[in-house]
Structure 1
Amino acid sequence: MTALWRNREFTLLWTSQSLSDLGTGVASLAFSLLVLVETGSAVRAGLVGTLSMVARLVIRLPGGVLVDRCDRRRVMVVCDSLRLAAFAVLTLAVFSGQVGLPLILVVTLIDSSAGAVFGAAEDAALRSIVPIEQVPAAVARNEARSYGTSLAGPPLGGFLFGLGHAVPFLSNAISYLVSVVAVLRIRKPLQGEREEQSQPYGAALAEGIGFVFAHPFLRALLLIAAPLNFAIGGVLFTVVVALQQNGTPPAVIGLTETIVAVGGLLGAVAAPALQSRLSVPSLVRGICWAAAVLVAGSALLISNIGAAVPLGLAVFLGPACTAALFGYQAAVTPDRLQGRVISIVMVAATSMAALAPVVGGVLLSSSSPSTAVLVFAASVVVSALTATFSTGIRGVEEIDLPGPVIPPAGVAE
């Protein structure tokens, strides 16, 4: 079997999307800085970030249907062409001094919506360009890409914004141009054969939801991914607030997210080694229980920056768990349903993560930071119990990934 890095299609896609993700990270900070420069309003700067998150969440389900219904290569090219055009217009507007908040919000909406659809298409296409037994390793490398660009993007965005307010947006436009060219150069088809007659949107979405809830493994995936995302986001928020209340300097507080991101990056690098030594059930169970202990451990150090270390260690274990779960998801889901299944799981996970700061705020207003952390740790225990007792996770041992995948009873391939 060809090594993953010798897979032309995967390397082409991974490299181009690393540049694209870096451009997105650059633009995310530059958007906030641009709004502050143009309006002087922190509220309006926050509005841009909120709009981006809401757009991604709202578009995921219809995007999953679109990805399963249309040619994925065409979807990816159209999405990044739209983003290229939007940032080209924004660059010209900033350069000419004609930029305003409405244009910034429109570009943010286009970028976030098209990015969510592109991401669904990329994830759904993965098993078309990578042998099924290499999908977990490919997912882990995509995780490394995500953590790496999230670390490098904002500092680079600040530096480029200092060179010229239009420079970060121009660089992001160029990254989308590279992405379009790279996707067009991929030789393999990015999906299997399609049915001639497409379903109405409602029926197509219902089919995807029905498949997820009929499949024991996919049900377990929902109950593992959502609480984990909720806990990590909640504890990170709690630690930041607790440090601020204790008078910790802002520069030190900023290290919290850096520690967590570095943990994720190193974990993504180590994920293939963990996967090669443990079965999927053993890996997921071990990681979930270890994460529960580590997240709870943050409560003992909540008064100082050391609280970020157990959280960083928990995030270190995350990519191996993600790669194992989503690698297996790619194996048990028919190609024609990939986009919808991925979107449904991501909506559940990201919705829980979006609620974490709100829940954290409520907990901090009525109890101590340590108690808040322990509440979030309890949600990780839910993931761990699911991984331990779920028949969907135990059943993974009965299926050999390199061979034929057996769909659950009553679900036809």
Structure 2
Amino acid sequence: MGTTTTAETPSSYPPLSRNRNYILLWSSQTLSELGASASIIAFPLLVLAISGSAVAAGLVGFANGAARFATGVLAGALVDRWDRKKVLVTCEVSRAIAFIGLVIAIATDHASVPVILFVALIEGMFATLFAPAEEATLPRLVSEQQLPPAVAGIAARAYLGATVGPALGGFLFGINRIFPFVADAISYVVSTVAVLFIRVPPREKTKKPLRSILPETRVGLAWVWKQPKIRATFFSQVGISFVFAALFFVVIVVANAKGVPAGEVGLIATMLGVGGLAGAFVASPLQAKLGPYRSIVALTWLSGVLIPLIAVVPAGYWYGVLLGVMAFLTPTATSSVQSYQMLSTPDELRGRLSGTAHLFGGVGQSLGPLAGGLVVAVDPTLAVLACAAIMLVIATSVTVSPSLRDLPKVLAARELDGN
């Protein structure tokens, strides 16, 4: 399927390193990722400090993921209908207000599990609305030839935040539990200002009459469902997201239970980010060699083999080493699959494509921490081995999937056609 033309020709786009709009988008979200990554560590630590319950801490992760899932149902259709830049700004403002409220609650000793749940819901909801708006806007800020490295840059941005943010979050939480959330609130305020200066080329006006949101959502879901290759990538995304979300939560709880200091817990997540960041730097050449299919196969089998080692290595930094190795191939798989999805989807459906992707991912992200919390409360070793077993099942299904196996051929055909 061909792509929708943009307002500018590919030759009119400057290199990514000098593309003002892409740099503003990338830098503003790097700051947001930094704050969000600090909160990823701080949220469960705050709940554990307040309630002492691993299940309650897992419930916060579930609330965030559930909000992503619920919002993802309609997010794509809303993004395809609304002004995408206004969506980006609204999301950043809303998250800034939520975290400012949490900071006030902590400062006045009114922070409780319900309050934290509410903030997690707000963060998940607007993060899910922001993502399809950003991803649908990206092909209008860069040329098609620049899209794969631009997507890889976004992956690098996420891992850059994950590299610095968790260590910063653990360090700040160790000083005072309020500091990580102050940093997150500030990051969203600054990001809002940066997004305001992005110039998004005007979209082509559709001649189709607007319908209500639910029918528009069904159109997007129906289109995705009729694309077997895209559908297969979404199903694999659910499983991989579930395992990684559960595993990350299990590692945090186990490390905390074994007396690992908060700062070291943050460094564990930082090591995961270092692995992903290193992988992002080589994602472009790797995806050219591996393609979507082999990159997903390599990621799932490598993770399935390494996860059981978490049950036997000493608590602490070794957790981070293993997570970092698993994260190395994630940017390659992500950028190759997302580039295929974007270039295979018309502009008027890209918001719904991204919304559906985050909807599928939200299923895993919401159920993962909840399942991890329930199982780790019974037996930490069982929780780790369960994650490994599920990942090996996913690896097997990905390996034998004919739809995923055909993805590199589709990409090669598009390149030969000049699309």
Q: State the TM-score, normalizing by the size of structure 1.
A: 0.80
Instruction: Pick which of 304-313 and 117-126 moved more.
Output: 304-313
What is the alpha-carbon distance in structure 1 between the residues aligned to residue 81 and residue 50 of structure 2?
41
Instruction: State how 1:212-223 maps to structure 2 within 5 Å.
Output: 212-223=224-235
2:397 maps to which residue?
A: 382
1:230·1:376 contact (CA, 8 Å) conserved in 2?
no
1:71 maps to which residue?
A: 83
What is the alpha-carbon distance in structure 1 between the residues aligned to residue 44 and residue 386 of structure 2?
33
Give 1:106 shift: 3.1
2:157 maps to which residue?
A: 145
What is the alpha-carbon distance in structure 2 between the residues aligned to residue 371 and residue 162 of structure 1?
31
Q: 1:70 to 1:294 in 2, by over 3 A?
A: same
Partner amino acid for 1:148?
A: L
Instruction: State the number of aligned residues.
Output: 397
Secondary structure in structure 2 of the residue aligned to 1:132: coil
Q: 1:344 aligns with which of 352, 356, 362?
A: 356
Instruction: Pick which of 86-95 and 74-83 moved more.
Output: 86-95
What is the alpha-carbon distance in structure 2 between the residues aligned to residue 311 and residue 163 of structure 1?
26
Q: Does 1:123 align with 2:135?
A: yes
1:409 maps to which residue?
A: none
1:20·1:175 contact (CA, 8 Å) conserved in 2?
yes
1:224·1:383 contact (CA, 8 Å) conserved in 2?
yes
Q: 1:194 to 1:78 in 2, by over 3 A?
A: farther
What is the alpha-carbon distance in structure 2 between the residues aligned to residue 62 and residue 131 of structure 1?
28
Give 1:171 shift: 2.8
Partner amino acid for 2:312?
A: S
What is the alpha-carbon distance in structure 2 between the residues aligned to residue 240 and residue 177 of structure 1?
28
1:299·1:307 contact (CA, 8 Å) conserved in 2?
no
1:305-327 deviations in whole A, cap 9, x for unaligned? 67876664343112112101101
What is the alpha-carbon distance in structure 2 between the residues aligned to residue 339 and residue 127 of structure 1?
11
Q: Which runs of 5+ in 2 are unaligned?
A: 1-10
Give 1:370 shift: 6.1
1:297 maps to which residue?
A: 305
Q: Which runs of 5+ in 1 are unaligned?
A: 405-413
Q: Does 1:25 align with 2:37?
A: yes
Give 1:149 shift: 1.4
What is the alpha-carbon distance in structure 2 between the residues aligned to residue 294 and residue 140 of structure 1?
21
Give 1:72 shift: 0.7
Percent pairwise identity: 34
Q: 1:380 to 1:249 in 2, by over 3 A?
A: farther
2:280 maps to which residue?
A: 268
Give 1:185 shift: 0.5
Give 1:397 shift: 2.1
2:172 maps to which residue?
A: 160
1:283 maps to which residue?
A: 291
Q: State the TM-score, normalizing by the size of structure 2.
A: 0.79
2:292·2:404 contact (CA, 8 Å) conserved in 1?
no
1:75·1:118 contact (CA, 8 Å) conserved in 2?
yes
Partner amino acid for 1:318?
A: T
Give 1:271 shift: 0.5
What is the alpha-carbon distance in structure 1 between the residues aligned to residue 308 and residue 183 of structure 2?
43
Give 1:368 shift: 10
Instruction: Pick which of 391-400 and 189-198 moved more.
Output: 189-198
Instruction: Pick which of 296-305 and 180-189 moved more.
Output: 296-305
Query: How large is the RMSD of aligned CA atoms in angstroms?
Result: 3.8
Q: 1:71 to 1:127 in 2, by over 3 A?
A: same
What is the alpha-carbon distance in structure 1 between the residues aligned to residue 248 and residue 116 of structure 2?
29
Instruction: State how 1:128-207 maps to structure 2 within 5 Å.
Output: 128-161=140-173, 164-189=176-201, 191-195=203-207, 197-207=209-219
1:353-410 deviations in whole A, cap 9, x for unaligned? 5545639949989989768635521311212332676445533321128833xxxxxx
Choose between structure 1 and 2 for higher RCO, CA contacts under 8 A separated by at least 6 residues. 2
Give 1:200 shift: 1.4
What is the alpha-carbon distance in structure 2 between the residues aligned to residue 123 and residue 266 of structure 1?
22
Q: 1:145 to 1:401 in 2, by over 3 A?
A: farther
Q: Does 1:398 align with 2:413?
A: yes
Secondary structure in structure 2 of the residue aligned to 1:210: helix
